[in-house]
Every structure is written in structure tokens, then in C-alpha cells.
Amino acid sequence: MEIRDLTNQQVDIIIEELKNMLSHFDINTLNTPFGKIKSRNMLVSDINNINFKLSIHRGNREPERFSLDLRFSDTHDCLVRLDVKGGAHRNPDGTVAPNSHLHIYNNIYNPKDSYAHPIDLKYFPNISNLYYAADSFLDYTNIKHI
């Protein structure tokens, strides 16, 4: 599978594929109401053996504003990124995504994560804080964590 040129179907397969952390990750460290968080973890997928970087970021000043992204280690292209309270996003086609939105790899645009979608509450029922959003993000991207 050529990760520089993925179809939407391949993107869905990669998102659903089980991914394992290569080092210990304790999601409970995200369960704080405030304070800067900058976490980076390496992962590998079970079937296609793809290497990823998971980044979680929250600044000091606005604890309700944060971002989580899963990138391919080799290309640095973003597979999935969740932005919460990051501001409205103007898409390449002129449409606007709300302040909280989800970016998913799309081969039509460059960079691959240029297009943002409204958050689907089916997958992200609670994004009120980083802990709950991260738990949903890990489930959505099928990242195994203990």
C-alpha cells in the first residue's frame, strides 16, 4: 500500500486497522482540568505494519482548546486530526467547518488534511475536555492503549 497516494477506501481501512503503542501511554494523565500537555507517541499498525506518530496538544491559556493528530511517520501526512475549539476552518472548496472539527486524509488536496468535517457525535459524543475527546479519538482510530 502506497501511503503517499491513498484512496478513500484505503484511508478507511487504515483508520479501522488496530494500532499498538510502542511505549507506555496512560490516558489518565490527560484527565486534568488545565495545564499544558504535549504528548508524542509512536505506534505501529498490526496488518500493514505502518508506523505512526500520535500527538496530543493543549496549551496553558485555553484548556478547552486542544488538538489530537495521527500522522504517518514516513511522510508526516496526517491520517486523522481532531481540533477542538480551534476556530472555524475554511475548506479548499469554500465551505466552512465549525470551531471543533475533524480532518481526515484526502488525496484530492495538498496537504492531505486540508479538508475539515463537522464532528460526528456518533464517534465523538463528548469533547468537553481532553480526556473524553482523547478516549473517543483512540477508539475512532483503533489505537490500543492500556
Rounded Cα distance, 119 and 124, in Å: 7
71 alpha-carbon distance from chain centroid? 8
The predicted-structure confidence for 100-136, as pLDDT tens digits, reads as follows 999 999 999 989 999 999 999 999 999 999 999 999 9
Q: What is the mean pLDDT of residues 30-35?
A: 90
Which one, of 25, 80, 17, lies nearest residue 50 by Cα? Answer: 17
The predicted-structure confidence for 56-110, as pLDDT tens digits, reads as follows 999 988 999 999 999 999 999 999 999 999 999 999 999 999 999 999 999 999 8
Rounded Cα distance, 107 and 134, in Å: 25
Rounded Cα distance, 142 and 118, in Å: 20
pLDDT at position 146: 63
Domain boundaries, the chain: 8-144
